[in-house]
């Protein structure tokens, strides 16, 4: 998908139901248009996933719906406050994009 995260499709969206996907945030990084750098930044993926989850859960606490489902730890869905260790995997709803 890119230098920051990879997308795993668990179930694709249908015409009537959203699908489920997982963003796996990596420790990779890129610089401008040069592409991926050969070294990685340790724990960057987990840090980005946790920051994203924090803001999605904060937004949802204000009553605003998002595509965020949960963080993944040991193959189980967990809210951020229930994680026992840092995770780099976030589960989200996948929706069909309708082209005009």
pLDDT 10s digits, 8-60: 999 999 989 999 999 999 998 888 777 778 888 999 999 999 999 999 999 99
Q: Quote the domain boundaries for residue 35.
A: 5-94
* All residues at 6 or more sequence positions from 85 whose CB lies less than 8 Å from its CB, including other chains: 73
Q: Is the pLDDT of residue 3 over 70?
A: no
Alpha-carbon span 8 to 3, nearest angstrom: 15
35: left (phi over 0), alpha (psi -120 to 50) or beta: left
DSSP state of 34: S
We report the CATH number of the domain holding residue 47 as 3.30.200.20
In a domain, 67, yes or no: yes
Total number of domains in the chain = 1
Q: What pTM, to 2 d.p., does this model score?
A: 0.87
Alpha-carbon span 65 to 62, nearest angstrom: 9
């Amino acid at each position: 998908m890119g230098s920051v995260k990879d997308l795993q499709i668990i179930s694709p969206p249908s015409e009537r139901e959203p699908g489920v996907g997982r963003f796996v945030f990596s420790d990779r990084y890129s610089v401008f248009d040069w592409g991926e750098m050969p070294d990685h930044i340790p724990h960057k993926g987990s840090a980005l996933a946790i920051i994203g989850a924090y803001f999605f859960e904060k937004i949802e606490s204000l009553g605003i719906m998002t595509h965020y489902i949960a963080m993944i730890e040991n193959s189980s869905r967990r809210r951020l406050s229930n994680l026992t260790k840092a995770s780099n995997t976030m589960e989200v709803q996948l929706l069909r994009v309708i082209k005009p």
